[in-house]
A = this chain, B = another copy of it.
């Protein structure tokens, strides 16, 4: 399952790419409209995530051009919140779904999966992540450590989810911030530390390892 992201905000593009890669998709990223059109025209992608505001060629035009050329790849539009761009116009040009910035990572993944499922191709990956004696069920939003269930709050769960999605890898605080909170969050970044702290207490000290200056990592086998 291969996705194309056309997004000129580098940080956002990178975040999305990382997250979706962790979900098990192959991800290509380009930063301007014209190149997006070229890559999408290759026909190798199963879904295109397309920002509206793009240098070169805006999202509507890319979308319209693709449809005009007969490509029916599912397109998920990303629109800015300010209402200058209209969701209806996006759908008119042939997009299959749209998402208004800022959006949360969870919502994005859900939409991507829904679109792929709609194409009858099955939406990638089990929703249950097992990692040592830690089991995280994203559909039921439940967490088990060994035999016992651990009660987590919504935010706690989301933070843990980010780590579980990329077991063994270092996940930076800013990535967690962007994925769990809105991409536009501007509060105290220390909030991530607070949640990691309570997760350690509720789960097990040592399960979440701090990598100084880089982020956190879910510890692999003991």
User: Could you write out 20 A-B pairs with CB less than 8 Å apart?
Assistant: A2-B120, A10-B91, A10-B92, A11-B87, A11-B91, A14-B97, A17-B118, A18-B114, A26-B119, A27-B118, A29-B96, A139-B166, A139-B168, A139-B169, A139-B170, A140-B217, A141-B217, A153-B213, A154-B211, A154-B214
**CB-contact partner of A214 in B10, B26, B91, B141, under 8 A:** B141
Q: How far is the CB of A156 from chain B (nearest CB, A)?
A: 10
Cβ of A212 < 8 Å from any Cβ of B? yes
Please report the C-alpha to C-alpha distance between residue A136 and residue B120 in the assembled complex, in whole angstroms.
28
Cβ of A38 < 8 Å from any Cβ of B? no
Instruction: Give chain B residues whose Cβ lies under 8 Å from the Cβ of A214.
Output: 141, 154
**CB-contact partner of A117 in B21, B155, B166, B211, under 8 A:** B21
Q: How far is the CB of A91 from chain B (nearest CB, A)?
A: 4
| Most chain B Cβ neighbours within 10 Å, of A11, A29, A91 | A91
**18 further interface pairs, Cβ-Cβ under 8 Å (given A11-B88, A14-B91, A14-B96):** A10-B88, A10-B91, A10-B92, A11-B87, A17-B118, A21-B114, A26-B118, A31-B91, A139-B169, A139-B170, A140-B168, A140-B169, A140-B170, A140-B217, A141-B214, A141-B217, A154-B212, A155-B213
Instruction: Give chain B residues whose Cβ lies under 8 Å from the Cβ of A21.
Output: 114, 117-118
Check if A141 sits within 8 Å of B88, measured CB to CB. Answer: no
Check if B26 sits within 8 Å of A120, measured CB to CB. Answer: yes
Chain A binding surface SS class: mixed
Please report the C-alpha to C-alpha distance between residue A14 and residue B75 in the assembled complex, in whole angstroms.
13
Which residue from chain B places its CB closest to the CB of A154 in the assembled complex? B213
Which residue from chain B places its CB closest to the CB of A90 in the assembled complex? B10
Q: How far is the CB of A153 from chain B (nearest CB, A)?
A: 7
Instruction: Give chain B residues whose Cβ lies under 8 Å from the Cβ of A154.
Output: 211-214
| Most chain B Cβ neighbours within 10 Å, of A10, A11, A119, A214 | A10
Please report the C-alpha to C-alpha distance between residue A141 and residue B211 in the assembled complex, in whole angstroms.
8
Please report the C-alpha to C-alpha distance between residue A171 and residue B14 in the assembled complex, in whole angstroms.
30
